Amino acid sequence: MSAQRLVSYCEKSPDKAYRFLESFCGQHAFRVLAPDKFNFSFQGSVTSAGNGSFGHLQYNSNVSVQLNSDYENYSLSLPLKGRQTVVAGKHESHFSDGRAFILSPGQQGSIEVSEGCRFLLVTIHRSTVELELRRLLGSKRGKLPVFALEMTGMGGLSASWWRSVRVYLRELARDQSIFTLPGIGPELERGLIRSLLLTQDSNMKDQIDQAVSTALPPSIERAKAFVEQNYAEPLTLGHLQRAAGLNASRLGTQFREHVGQSPMGYLKQIRLERARELLMCPGPVRKISTVVLDVGFNHFGRFSIDYKEAFGESPKETVARALIDRPVR
C-alpha cells in the first residue's frame, strides 16, 4: 500500500474546484449562487484511486449540490460552522452545530450549503463499502447498505467516529505522523468504514449485528488468520487443516457453519479482495498478470471470471476506473 499524505487545494474558479471534487466525489451537479464570493478550500486525505476522501471543506459562497440517482458515493457531512440543508423529495432537513448526515448511493436530492459553512466531508465509493461489508458478512451476500439520513447517537458512537476523523486529519497535517507510513493511513480509513457499518442505522444493520455477534471457534479463528497471513503462498487444504488442528471433514463442516463457505472458498475470497486493493492502489499502474501471481492465483482466465462474479466488473474495468478517478494533485 502507498503512504497517505495531506492534500491541500484552494481555488477561486468554480469550474476548477468542481473538477477537483469530481475526481474523488464523482459526477454531480454543482451551482454557485454567488460566484464573486466563491473561495474554495479543501484539506484532507484522498483515498486510493480517488475512491473517497476525508477532509475539511469550505466554499465561502452559497452553493447548491445536486446528487442524481446514479451517484455512486456515500456522502457524509458534519457542519462545524454554518448550515447545510438536505432536500430529498418533499422532505427538508437542516444540519448545523454538530448534526451530521449521510446520503447513500441512489438517494436523489440536493444539499444547500450556506455561505459561511465549514464542514467535515467524507466520501466513500460504493465499491469500497461493499468490499468491507463482504468482510463483515463472509460469503453471505448483502444488499447495498442504505443509511438513515441523520447519523444516530451524535453524543455517543457517532461523535466518537467524527472525533476519530478529526484526529486522523490533524495527524496528517503534522510534519511527522505514523499515518503517513505505508499502509497505516489506508488501514485506519478501512477501520472507519467498518465502524460506520457497525454503528449506523441502515437496511443491513440487523444482518451485520448477527454476523459479528457470532463467536468463531478457536480452530476456525486460527485457520482464518493463517489464510489472511499466507494467502499469497501455494496453500492446500492440508495447510489449513494443520493450522486449525482438524481433519478435512470437520474443518469443512465447521467452516461452512461459521463462515458460510468452504475453507478454500474463503482463501479465494481473500485473494480476490487483496487483488482488488492492489489494482486500485495509487501510484504506477501494476500489470494485472503481476497482481494475479502476487496474490496466489496461477490461472488468469479463472481469476478474471471469479473477479467479475465477486465485484461486478472485470479487472481491466477496475484499472480503467481507477485511472479515471485518480485525484487531481
pLDDT, one tens digit per residue, over 215-263 is 789 999 999 999 999 999 999 999 999 999 999 999 999 998 888 889 9
85-111 burial, b at 16+ Cβ within 10 Å, e below that, comes to ebeeeeeeeebbeebbbbbbbebebbb
How high is the pLDDT of residue 161?
Answer: 92
Copy the grid coordinates of residue 203: 437496511
- What's the pLDDT score for residue 164? 92
Q: Please, are residues 84 and 77 in contact by the beta-carbon 8 Å criterion?
A: yes
pTM for this entry: 0.76
CA pair distance 75, 82, nearest whole angstrom: 18
Confidence of residue 143 (pLDDT cuts 50, 70, 90): confident
pLDDT class of 283 with cuts at 50, 70, 90: low
Confidence tier at 310 by pLDDT (50, 70, 90): confident
Nearest C-alpha neighbor of 150 from the set 96, 226, 223: 96
Choose between 282 and 273: higher pLDDT.
273
The β-bridge partners of 41 are: 10, 58
Looking at 37-85, list the stretches that DSSP marks H as alpha helix, in order from N- to C-terminal side: none
Compute the mean pLDDT over every residue in the chain, rounded to the nearest whole number.
Answer: 87
pLDDT at residue 1 is higher than 60: no
What is the DSSP secondary structure assignment for residue 298, as one 8-state letter?
-
In a 13 Å sphere around the CA of 87, the CA atoms on its Cβ side amount to 8
Find the helix packing angle between 205-213 and 126-137, rounded to 10°.
40
What is the predicted pLDDT for the residue at 137? 83
Residues 179-200: pLDDT tens digits?
A: 888 778 888 888 999 999 999 9
Helices 300-311 and 126-137: angle between axes, nearest 10 degrees: 100
Question: Residues 122-140: pLDDT tens digits?
Answer: 999 888 898 889 888 875 5
d(CA 223, CA 201): 32
Residues 6+ apart with CB under 8 A from 139: 259, 260, 261, 265, 266, 269
Task: Say if residue 285's pLDDT is above 80.
Answer: no
Quick one: pLDDT band at residue 169, thresholds 50, 70, 90?
A: very high
pLDDT cut 90: percent of the chain above it: 56
The H-assigned helical ranges of the chain are 14-25, 126-137, 157-172, 184-199, 205-213, 218-230, 237-244, 248-258, 263-280, 288-294, 300-311, 315-325
For the stretch 51-90, pLDDT in tens is: 789 999 999 999 999 998 888 899 999 999 999 999 987 7
Q: Please determine, for residue 325, whether its predicted confidence score (pLDDT) is greater than 60.
A: no
- Alpha-carbon distance of 147 to 204, in angstroms, equals 9
More confident residue, 281 or 317: 317
pLDDT in tens, 156-165: 788 899 999 9
Residue 20, classified by CB atoms within 10 Å of its CB into exposed (0-12), middle (13-18) or buried (19+), is buried
